[in-house]
């Protein structure tokens, strides 16, 4: 069984200590931090398995820390805040958080959400990567759409001969579209396929993830289907 380390970032020592107590009861290791600057140092030196991250912090706020972490990895992030506002939740999702809790919250509920995120992102993680370079043909064939080539067993994606730097969810969404070109998916279908059927966040998360994919893959022909959702249209197989 994996030994998970949870970083709890909150400038209120009472909340931070309470959260850590409940997490330790579940045998998780915890690291308590009072600022985003301390958290960023931890990320550089000894990154945890999951973040519980307050938004309102002295100096760098939780949004900026989330953005920085997410630009480098897909480690689970649960944001907590006294702000019960739809805009704040959407912003957290847009920056890449996986969940959002409003203060005051039940520590038991937070623990349940921590367990859910860890199960989703680590217990079913990808198999070990093969040697450097293009993966060799294995039991599962590559998925090819235009100039894109995906290797589902290793969860690696290439455009031409160049490997794409995709996060876990970015790859999962791209694979859904690549395996079903021209099929229109609703946002609800994509939430289940990429986030899991127990995800209870906003379906705006789909829009934000597609926006991130389009930034990373130039001229990626994912198009909105009015009143329905999205589809990938190969455009004659040429996406160069």
Summarised one tens digit per residue, pLDDT across range 142-183 is: 888 888 888 887 778 888 778 888 877 888 899 999 999 899
**Domain ranges, ordered by start, for the chain:** 5-123, 143-232
What token pair was written down for 176? 């859904």
Question: The domain 5-123: what is its CATH number?
Answer: 3.40.50.2300
Identify the three-state secondary structure at position 57. Answer: coil
Cα Rg of the chain, angstroms:
19
Fold held by 143-232: Arc Repressor Mutant, subunit A (1.10.10)
Choice among 44-58, 132-146, 150-164, 200-214 with the minimum mean pLDDT: 132-146
Give the distance, in angstroms, between the CA of residue 29 and the centroid of all CA atoms in the same chain. 22
Which pLDDT belongs to residue 122?
65
**Global pTM value:** 0.61
101-131 residue pLDDT tens: 888 889 999 999 898 888 777 654 544 443 3
């Amino acid at each position: 069984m994996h030994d998970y380390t949870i970083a709890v970032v909150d400038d209120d020592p009472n909340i931070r200590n309470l959260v850590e107590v409940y997490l330790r009861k579940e045998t998780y290791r915890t690291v308590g931090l009072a600022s985003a600057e301390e958290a960023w140092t931890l990320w550089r030196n000894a990154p945890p398995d999951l973040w519980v991250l307050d938004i309102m912090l002295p100096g760098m706020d939780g949004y900026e820390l989330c953005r920085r972490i997410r630009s480098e990895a897909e480690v689970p992030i649960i944001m907590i805040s006294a702000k019960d506002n739809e805009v704040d939740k959407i912003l957290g999702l847009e920056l890449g958080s996986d969940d959002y809790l409003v203060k005051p919250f039940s520590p038991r509920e937070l623990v349940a959400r921590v367990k859910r995120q860890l199960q989703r992102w680590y217990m079913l993680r990808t198999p070990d990567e093969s040697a450097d370079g293009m993966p060799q043909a294995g039991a599962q064939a590559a998925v090819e759409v235009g100039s894109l080539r995906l290797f589902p067993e290793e969860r690696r994606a290439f455009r031409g001969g160049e490997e794409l730097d995709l996060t876990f969810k970015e790859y999962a969404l791209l694979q859904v579209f690549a395996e079903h070109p021209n099929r229109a998916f609703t946002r609800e279908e994509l939430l289940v396929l990429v986030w899991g059927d127990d995800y209870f966040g906003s379906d705006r998360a789909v829009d934000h993830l597609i926006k991130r994919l389009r930034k990373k893959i130039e001229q990626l022909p994912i198009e909105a289907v009015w009143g329905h959702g999205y589809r990938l249209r190969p455009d004659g197989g040429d996406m160069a």
